[in-house]
Each structure stands twice: as structure tokens, then as C-alpha cells.
Amino acid sequence: MIVDLPSTTTSQLNKKLVEIRERGGQVALGRVLTLVIVADDDDKLEEAIEAANEASREHPSRVIVVAKGARTAAPRIDGQIRVGGDAGASEVIVLRLYGPLAAQGQSAVVPLLLPDAPIVTWWPGVGPKSPAKDPLGELAQRRITDSAAEKNPVRSLTTRAKSYVDGDTDLAWTRLTRWRAQLVSALDLPPYEKVTGATVTGEADSPSTELLAGWLAEYLKVPVKRVKSSSAQGIISVSLERRSGAVVLHRPDGRVGTLTQPGQPTRRIALQRRTTPDCLVEELRRLDTDEIYEAALKGLGKFSAGTNGKAAAKPASPAAAKKKAAAGKATS
């Protein structure tokens, strides 16, 4: 159900919410948090609401969407309430602020917050340079941005690193979860050797590729090379060098990856690019500080640019590697 309230007030919105709950038998006690979505673009707004609705099945929430209307218009708030099938397991309140009220999002949101519930603020599009200092970011325990939505994704990561405050996170980081899990699992298998270097290949403006290289540089304390490629989107491959040979995770199509390492059979791994709802669900599971993300930001300046503009080649088979080694001995 969708209820439109043009030229309304926050008090009228609260009264209408109570009326809808009493009439439909719904209660707000099951809401575990308040999710504030800041989206000016109408397309981003609807995509964000859809993602929040899907995430609400695991995290029932009150979703407050703040959208800025024309600044030259007369001051007013156009409100909309979505419940039931149009809101998943949440209740969605859309606020479109006009005129001078467009800069007063915090004042409009505060009366609608759930009491004693954590607050998460999410910018699905272009976010502020310093999320923690933004008026709507100041309300939240957790602040979610998405560097991939910025005009210059890689440069925005540098800005995020400079303004980082406990509670900040980015969906570009959340998209790495499966890559990080697979690489860590691979290093847990024999032979247990130290990594001596790493190469990360990905799209030139992929913030996730940059964060992955920063994470490896910060934690492995080895030289890391970041190679830019135009042959595919996002992350293409990661190679971890060890004395016995490289551990290579290669994903050329954005869907299926191939993991190759010495002494182990080649494995095909599902590495489908993660959707926004999937990433949002993961981020809402934790409201504490993400120290690993902070470390990845610190590692952004600790890797070098690669010289090969092509995607990393697939690793040679054991038979081909043995043949190459024999040829090397014959010519030495």
C-alpha cells in the first residue's frame, strides 16, 4: 500500500503511520534499526528502496528516504508512506524536500526515527566527502557509501581514506567478501609458504580492485602490483607468488572464477558479481567498526602500478610448466 501526503509535516506523517498500523494490525516493535537513504536521483531512489525492501527480510527496518526537490520552489515536504507488499518487511517513508527545506534533511528525519534503535545512513549515489560530518551522517552509528557510483571512483577512495571515521564503510569493499574468503582459504592449504609478492588485475576505474590491492599490501607486507585492464569489468585476477609457484584466482567473465595453485587440482568457483541488495544485507549485519576496511584504506598508497595493460593470463598447466622448465635448462 502506498499513501501520498503532499505538502505535509512530520507530525502528520507520524499520525498517519499510527493510523495505518492500527488499521492493519502492524506494529513497529519488530523493527531492528532505522535506515536513512539519501538519494536525489529518482532512478537511484527507486533502486535503493527496492534494495532496502529485499534487505528488510533479514533486517526489518523503518526506512526513511530523503530526496531533495527544487531549491527554488516554495518550502514544503511531499511525503509518501509505503507498507505491506510495497515495503517488504519494513515501512518506508519518502520525504521530498523543497526550497530552503532541501538543506534541512536532518531536521525532517529526527522526528521520524525509531526510539532506541540504531541508525544507518546510506548514500546509494554520490556521497559526501566526509560522511561522518554530513548532517544525516552525524545521526548514524554506521555510514554506507558506494565509491562505484562516484564520477571518479578511484579518487573518491582517497577522499574516503582521509575522512575515515569509525563506522564508515563502502559497498565497493563489501563486493570483495567472496574474493577475500577464497584467497584466505587457498592460503590455508598446503604448501604453507610465505607469500613473496602479489598482482591484482582489474578494470582501471574499479574501486573494489584498488581496495583489494590495498588490503593485500597492508596485511601481507609484500610488494603488490596493481595492473589496469580494459578486457573485463571489476576484478579480473589475483596472483599470490610463493616459492613453489603462484596461487592464481582468475575471473574473466564476472561470473565464474578458476583457482589454480601448486599441488592442488584446479577448481572452478562461483564468483558472480554481487548485487546491491546482497551487499546491503551484509553491511546491516554489523554495526560496529570495520577495522579491516580501515586497514584496506591505509594500504591504498602501498602498491605500485603494473606495466601490463592486459588481463593476467591464465596460469599454465603443470605439464606446460614442466616443458617450459626443461626448455630453459636446455638453453642455459
Write the DSSP assignment of 153-183 as a string of letters.
Answer: HHHHHHHHHHH--TTEEEHHHHTTHHHHHHH
Q: Enter the pTM of the model.
A: 0.88
| pLDDT at position 20 | 86
Of 251, 226, 221, 255, the C-alpha closest to 236 is 251
Amino acid of residue 46: E
Task: Check pLDDT > 50 for residue 328.
Answer: no
Task: Check pLDDT > 50 for residue 309.
Answer: no
**Separation of alpha carbons 205 and 158, rounded Å:** 13
Strand partners of residue 67 = 96
pLDDT grade for 312, boundaries at 50, 70 and 90? very low
86 with 2: CB under 8 angstroms? yes
Enter the CATH code of domain 2-145.
3.40.50
**Separation of alpha carbons 251 and 200, rounded Å:** 12
Maximum C-alpha span of the chain: 86
Percent of the chain with pLDDT over 70: 90
| pLDDT at position 323 | 45
| pLDDT at position 304 | 94
Task: Give the chain's mean pLDDT.
Answer: 89
Task: Check pLDDT > 60 for residue 129.
Answer: yes
The lowest-confidence range among 160-164, 228-232, 317-321 is: 317-321
- How do residues 272-282 score in pLDDT, each as one tens digit? 999 999 999 99
| pLDDT at position 28 | 54
Beta-sheet pairing, 235-241 with 247-250? antiparallel
Q: What is the mean pLDDT of residues 247-275?
A: 94
Q: In what order do the strands lie in the sheet with 119-122?
A: 2-8, 76-82, 91-98, 61-68, 33-38, 119-122, 142-145, 168-170
94 with 80: CB under 8 angstroms? yes
Of 228, 215, 227, 241, the C-alpha closest to 298 is 215
| pLDDT at position 316 | 45
Q: What is the mean pLDDT of residues 265-294?
A: 95
Please give the backbone phi and psi of residue 42, each rounded to the nearest 5 degrees, phi first. -65, -35
Of 329, 311, 284, the C-alpha closest to 62 is 284
112 with 64: CB under 8 angstroms? yes
Of 103, 104, 150, the C-alpha closest to 129 is 150
Q: What is the mean pLDDT of residues 313-323?
A: 45
